[in-house]
Amino acid sequence: MSRWMRLGLPVAAVVLALVFSGVVATLVLLFTGDDVVGFWRVLFTWPSERDLVDIINMTAILYLSGAAAAIGFRMNLFNIGVEGQYRLAGLFAGAFAAQGLLPGKLNVAAAILVAMAVGALWAGIAGVLRVWRGVSEVISTIMLNAIAGSLIGFLLVKWGESTGNARNTKMMPEDSWTGFFRLFPDVSDGAYHLSLLAPLVGIAFFILVYYTRFGFDLRAAGASESAAVSSGVSVKKMIVVSMLLSGAVAGLIGVPMMFSEAHQYGSAFQTGLGFTGIAVALLGRNHPMGIAFGALIFAFLGQQANLLNILAGVSPDIVNMTQGIIVLSVVIAFEVIRRLATRIEQRQVATQLDAERQGDTALKGASA
């Protein structure tokens, strides 16, 4: 199978899936009697500089969330608990940073480690339950999400303070605030300093999965658990380790925004990112590059949803729905091309070998 086909088929699949989603969204808009022209005009308007900054930041955040989910997916572990893991991690990191135990950026670094540790531990509970008692990680992580929410409420009351009607952790010392990379002279904000965590995680993820023994074991266990076990992979260990890794990355999700914007954990802390990350990972086929692409699409659509609401009068629900359709159609498209590619490859092998063996009458038995 040519290199062209290997690269071209997935791209074609994504493009087709996007076009298909657009068609469905248009039909829905027509059906509901919304402003179709306005929808597409707003959607395809090049974002303002301010919006571009927001899109970049959101892409970084969604990348972290997608990567967290993808690490689990790589070995067929469905960590639905990214949501609870990053929120709890955000609370602990915020509360820790507010103590100001360490000076300046050292405090930030330590808070990041706290966030990763808390995320990892919270996810690790699900991993251990799965290995030790066979509890499905889907169920346990969903339960852990609910527990995390209540725990956050409790801890915010204990540790937090009220600002108006909001309750937040204490403000962190100013020397621990991280700033922005100014991208445009006219926009006061820029990319969060800590959004750099996203490319760092991406590179680490890429190397880990494709260039390490651990990554090979992870992929093997995901592709065929039985083959992995025969090859000597301890699936139990892999489950726990990959849940820990997934949770550690999840812990980072809330960090960039918190340190650059709110400087405290509280009511303004964005929720729901963990669930979006699942969709982003699916969209990106759990591949470090694909996730970046998925994160960008979701960040872009999320940003445009707001504008659509105001400028075209289209409900944000439509955009949410479109995001869902994109995920579904990308997944289906990839399954279709996977089968297509297999068939093409088998045919190529057969033709090539048949040609080689012209005259050779040896025939193969059916193993089908």
Partner 1 sequence: MTKDLQAVPAIELRGIGKRFPGVIANHDIDITITSGTIHALVGENGAGKSTLMKILYGVQKPDSGTIAVNGHQVSLSSPSDAIAIGVGMVFQHFMLADNFTVLENVVLGAEKIAGIGDDARNRIRQISDDYGFDLDPDDLVEDLGVGERQRVEILKVLYRGAKIIILDEPTAVLVPQEVDALFDNLRELKDQGHTLIFISHKLDEVLSVADDITVIRKGTTVASVKPAEVNARQLAELMVGSVLPSPSTEGSTVTDKVLLEVIDLELDDATGRPELVDIDFAIHAGEILGIAGVEGNGQTELVETIIGMRRQARGTIMLAGEEISEWSTRRRRETGVGYIPEDRHRHGLLLDAPLWENRILGHQTRPPSVKGPFLNPPGAKADTGRIVSAYDVRTPGITTTARALSGGNQQKFIVGREMSSDPILLIASHPTRGVDVGAQAAIWGHIKRARKAGLAVLLISADLDELIGLSDTIKVILRGKLVATFDPQSVTPQQLGSAMTGADAISEERS
Partner 2 sequence: MRTFAKMAAVVMVGALALTGCGKTSSEKDNNASGSSSVDVCKGSKGEPKVGVAYDVGGRGDQSFNDSAYRGLEKAVKDLGASCIEAKATTSDNDSIREQRLQTLADQGFNPVIAVGFLYSPAAAKVAKANPNTNFAVIDGYSTTIATDAKNLSDLVFAENEGSYLVGVAAALTSKSKHVGFIGGTHGDLIKKFEAGYVAGVKSIDPKIKIDIQYLTEDPSDAATGFENPAGGKQAATAMYQGGADVVYHAAGKSGLGLFEAAVAAGEGKWAIGVDSDQYLTAAKDQQPHILTSMLKRIDTAVFEFVTAFKEGKVQSGFVNYDLKVDGVGYSTSGGFVDPIKAQIDAAADKIKSGEVKVPEKP
For binding to partner 1 (CB under 8 A), which residues are involved? 1, 210-217, 219-220, 223-224, 226-227, 229-234, 338, 342-343, 345-350, 352-353, 356, 362-368
Decide if residue 149 touches partner 2 (CB under 8 A).
yes
Backbone angles phi, psi at 35, to 5 degrees: -85, 90
Structure letter (DSSP) for residue 162: E
Burial state string for 206-216 with b = 16 or more CB within 10 A and e = fewer than 16: eebbeeeeebe
Name which of partner 1, partner 2, none residue 217 binds, using a CB cut-off of 5 to 8 Å depending on partner kind. Answer: partner 1
State the binding partner of 40 from partner 2, partner 1, none, CB within 5 to 8 A by kind. Answer: none
Gap between the Cα atoms of 222 and 78, Å rounded: 11
Contact between 190 and partner 2 per CB under 8 A: no
Burial 48-58 (b: 16+ CB within 10 A, else e): eeebbbbbbbb
The interface with partner 2 within residues 91-130 (CB under 8 A) comprises none
Q: Which of partner 2, partner 1, none does residue 136 bind (CB under 5 to 8 Å by kind)?
A: none
Task: Rule CB under 8 A: choose which of 110, 331, 341, 344 binds partner 2.
Answer: 331
**If binding means CB under 8 A, how many residues of this protein chain bind partner 2?**
61
Q: Which is nearer to partner 1, 33 or 232 (CB)?
A: 232
245 binds, among partner 2, partner 1, none (CB under 5 to 8 A by kind): none
Residue 311 beta carbon to partner 2: minimum distance, rounded to whole angstroms: 7
Distance of alpha carbon 196 from alpha carbon 198, whole angstroms: 5
Q: Indicate whether 320 belongs to the interface with partner 2 (CB under 8 A).
A: yes
* Contacting residues for 134 by C-beta, under 8 A, at least 6 apart: none
Question: Crossing angle of helices 316-356/288-307, nearest 10°?
Answer: 150
What span, in angstroms and rounded, lies between the C-alpha atoms of 366 and 368?
Answer: 5
In the complex, least distance from residue 42 CB atom to partner 1, rounded to whole angstroms: 41
What would the DSSP string read from start to end of 227-265?
Answer: HHHHTT--HHHHHHHHHHHHHHHHHHTTHHHIIIIISS-
Q: Which two tokens stand for residue 319?
A: 């955009």
Residue keyed to tokens 């949770």: 247
Check binding of 335 to partner 2 (CB under 8 A). Answer: yes
Residues forming contacts to partner 2 in the complex (CB under 8 A) are: 50-51, 54, 57-58, 73, 76, 78, 80, 87, 138, 146, 148-150, 152-154, 156-157, 162-167, 188, 257, 261-262, 267-273, 275-276, 278-279, 282, 302-303, 305-307, 309-311, 315-317, 320-321, 323-324, 327-328, 331, 335
